Structure 1
Amino acid sequence: MVTTSDEHRTKSPWLPPRWFIRFAWAVHRGLFRGSGGRIGLSRPRGNKYGMLRLTATGRRSGQPRSVILGYFEDGPNLVSMAMNGWGEPEPAWWLNLQANPDATVELVDGRRAVRGRAATGDERTRLWARWREIDRHLDGYAARRPSETAVVVLEPRPDASGT
């Protein structure tokens, strides 16, 4: 017999339709822009992730590209996931960051220059476990994707002031 906790790990949790997810992202970006950045970002608190705005260089255009992401803090690093709403393809921001790892993030308390990379090995395992504490459906969502979901570490850039 399967226990309730095993069911949570093996069942695919419900997700809204893709059009709804994309609409919600557009509304979030609109609130951020329309408020001049006063609405839309938050700090992580307890077992809740925060929201940051990442600006990376477009791998094809060379132009700045921004996206709002969920994150938590791991010492001086910020940790997110390259999940694309749990859709199949890798998110464009992650492809851009892989092509040019230097980026900036906007947090509630200001901007920070960062360098992005994928967590690997024991670090990835530890950070994935932390995300699992935040979202108990994480493994079910990740199982929807054909490839492993990257855990993205945004490290402070020592060569930049963050402005």
Structure 2
Amino acid sequence: MAAEPQQPATGTHDGVRRPEPLTGWQRAVARLPIHAYRLGLGPLFGNRLLLLVHTGRRSGAPRRVVIEVVAHDPEHRTWTVASGFGPRAQWYQNLRHTPRATIQTGRRYRAVTAHFLSPEEGGEVMAAYAPRHPRAARVLCGYMGFETDGTTESFRAAGRRIPFVRLKECDQAERWRDDAQP
């Protein structure tokens, strides 16, 4: 009886190569910005990064991750982020389980609710992001195994396959209502 071929170390799902989560020294380096936020150095990152404090789906404990902001709409008080590790990312799965979270941008904390974008919305977000940050867009797509030729349409196609989350700031009434719940 022949053995089943094993899935490659880089992991694929639905034909898309997903990067493996970081371990060892790479994970330690990637987590340095979290410590910078804890030390009050959040303003150094400007509006490009945010600290997401979310609830662990198994432990219920607060978890922290620093992620890049793909789009920010100050008028609607939203921040759009992408999961570079796909839907397997722990923060992404935790937000799926508990969409309420807190973000820190600079020195300011905000209560937010996560809204998961459709593939079409993700495509439009990526198509708008790529011209503003062409190098970062190419790196993200390459990291996730998507080929792009630099055209808006190729970034739109890649964006349809990247999980995007829009974090919307809760208004004061929502925060008070949630605090009043037993």
TM-score (norm 2): 0.62
Indicate yes or no: 2:57 matched with 1:79.
no
1:98 to 96, 99, 110: 96
The question of whether the paired residues in 2 share the 8 Å contact of 1:28 and 1:40 is answered with no
The residue number in structure 2 matching 1:154 is 167
Provide Cα deviations, 1:12-66, integer angstroms capped at 9, x if missing partner.
xxxxx86564232132223333x2x22475333xxxxx11111111100111111
Distance 1:103 1:21, change over 3 A: same
TM-score (norm 1): 0.68
The residue number in structure 1 matching 2:141 is 139
Query: What 5-or-longer segments of structure 2 have no aligned partner?
Result: 1-21, 147-159, 177-182
The question of whether the paired residues in 1 share the 8 Å contact of 2:43 and 2:106 is answered with no
In structure 2, C-alpha distance between the alignment counterparts of 1:41 and 1:68, rounded to whole Å? 13
The residue number in structure 1 matching 2:35 is 30
Paired positions, count: 133
Query: What 5-or-longer segments of structure 1 have no aligned partner?
Result: 1-16, 45-49
Provide Cα deviations, 1:76-95, integer angstroms capped at 9, x if missing partner.
210111113xxx77211111
In structure 2, C-alpha distance between the alignment counterparts of 1:40 and 1:30, rounded to whole Å? 13
Distance 1:95 1:89, change over 3 A: closer
Report the 3-state secondary structure (helix = DSSP H, G, I; strand = E; otherwise coil) of the residue aligned with 2:50.
strand
Runs of 4+ in 1 over 6 A off after TM superposition: none
The question of whether the paired residues in 2 share the 8 Å contact of 1:41 and 1:51 is answered with no
In structure 2, C-alpha distance between the alignment counterparts of 1:160 and 1:41, rounded to whole Å? 28
1:64 to 46, 52, 62: 62
In structure 2, C-alpha distance between the alignment counterparts of 1:74 and 1:21, rounded to whole Å? 32
Higher helix share: 2
Q: Percent identity?
A: 25
Distance 1:18 1:151, change over 3 A: same
CA RMSD of the aligned region, Å?
A: 2.7
In structure 2, C-alpha distance between the alignment counterparts of 1:116 and 1:152, rounded to whole Å? 6
Provide Cα deviations, 1:101-138, integer angstroms capped at 9, x if missing partner.
00010111511111112211442222111332322413
Larger radius of gyration: 2
Indicate yes or no: 2:117 matched with 1:119.
yes
In structure 1, C-alpha distance between the alignment counterparts of 2:29 and 2:102, rounded to whole Å? 23
Distance 1:39 1:102, change over 3 A: closer
Report the 3-state secondary structure (helix = DSSP H, G, I; strand = E; otherwise coil) of the residue aligned with 2:88.
coil
